[in-house]
Amino acid sequence: MCEANVYMRDETGHDRLFMEHVDIIIPGPDGLYMENIFGERKKVDAVIQEMQLVSHRIILSRPGSA
């Protein structure tokens, strides 16, 4: 499996699970569009902070909180 779990990093540096089994992330002018293997979709105003591909983790943060 090549999907990853997406986490949102807060202002204190803690990561909270945001979405599981994500296989599509598309950046856009107003944030990120994500879709997982089950067809669940989310759009969020965030930026990618870190990608841990071996660990299947993607860390996001809100703009301005990086």
45 falls within a domain: yes
66 falls within a domain: no
d(CA 46, CA 54): 22
22 falls within a domain: yes
The whole domain housing 26 covers 4-61
48 falls within a domain: yes
What's the domain count of the chain? 1
49 falls within a domain: yes
Average pLDDT over residues 29-56: 96
Measured in whole angstroms, the distance separating CA 1 from the mean position of its chain's CA atoms is: 17
pTM over cut 0.75? yes
40 falls within a domain: yes
19 falls within a domain: yes
d(CA 42, CA 25): 10
**Tens-place pLDDT, residues 44-58:** 999 999 999 999 999
32 falls within a domain: yes
